Homo-oligomer: A and B are copies of this chain.
């Protein structure tokens, strides 16, 4: 099994190429730190749809169509779409897939879904089962808020450690051949739960899962953090990000020089999102709009993207359970 590395990792023999990406966001994201980088910024969070959920579905469909267009391909060239979102029963994804009509594999990794979809999509290509796949993820602040917490209209005060669910969708096309950054290796995460029960503070809940996956990735591949220009986690926010640095330090590994969290790269300080961004679209839009072009231009040569997912449900919270978390990592190299 030449493609398995260590305990949890794989390496690709003919690394699949990410040949295009696309990102669509809401107005708040469009005015944030990455202003000017997105393919499309909606004027409001509903875009004339009858519900936030349907607007989210529109975004994921738009992102897939745009990524395919930027790849100079048609939907018919896409063998499979792999996608997911945060809504119950992947509502946004499924209604988008109804319109797109391509063979589809549904994934649920909460906010780790971008990394999960890149990982599985790359195995389908390197395994010889597909020539081209599209991956996509989405989240929507208002739809997530009312599903996970309180009716959005109530405007419930958020604790300082809380994060703001990103309204947006990111998509990528992965191809067997072509030019662009390549998915060279990946690490499949385990479910880690250190007992945090407050779903308003997901960053600290997810940080141990990110550390577990990063630690195992380094062990499995024999790499040190400086192998990468940058290591990114998906949506730990300020509090979770600091925890990753501290917990890795305790293991004797310094990541402070080249580690950042996508959740800290989206909103300006004065946008008052507290601890930063969260949601499937956190890593989705940062990767699709900002990191991918940097890789493409050679300004970044090697990154490790660690998708981080908080796997609780409102039901598990009501049943007083703690928050199981997961993190999947993909190495992307120019």
Which of chain A's residues 46-99 have a Cβ closer than 8 Å to chain B? 50-51, 53-54, 79-80, 84, 87-91, 94-95, 97-98
Which of chain A's residues 296-328 have a Cβ closer than 8 Å to chain B? 311-316, 319, 321, 324, 326, 328
6 tightest A-B CB contacts, nearest first = A127-B127, A89-B313, A103-B188, A97-B191, A94-B311, A108-B108
Closest-CB distance, A96 to chain B (whole angstroms): 9
Complex Cα–Cα for A79 and B186 (A):
14
Which residues of B lie under 8 Å from residue A79 when comparing CB positions?
4
Asked whether A126 is an interface residue with its Cβ less than 8 Å from the other chain, the reply is yes
* Most B CB within 10 A of own CB, among A97, A100, A104: A104
Asked whether A8 is an interface residue with its Cβ less than 8 Å from the other chain, the reply is yes
Known A-B contacts A107-B106, A107-B108, A120-B120; A98 and B2 likewise in contact (beta carbons under 8 Å): no
Which residues of B lie under 8 Å from residue A100 when comparing CB positions?
191
Which residues of B lie under 8 Å from residue A147 when comparing CB positions?
315
21 contacts between A and B (CB under 8 A): A1-B131, A4-B129, A4-B131, A8-B103, A13-B128, A88-B89, A88-B315, A91-B316, A95-B324, A97-B190, A97-B191, A100-B191, A103-B189, A104-B190, A105-B188, A105-B328, A106-B311, A107-B107, A107-B108, A124-B127, A127-B127
* Most B CB within 10 A of own CB, among A94, A104, A119: A94
Complex Cα–Cα for A191 and B93 (A):
10
Asked whether A193 is an interface residue with its Cβ less than 8 Å from the other chain, the reply is yes
**Contact residue among B13, B80, B311, B316 (Cβ-Cβ distance under 8 Å from A188):** B80
Are A89 and B311 in contact, CB atoms less than 8 angstroms apart?
A: yes
| Chain A 126-146: CB-based contact to B (< 8 A → 1; otherwise 0) | 111111000000000000000
Which of chain A's residues 194-212 have a Cβ closer than 8 Å to chain B? none
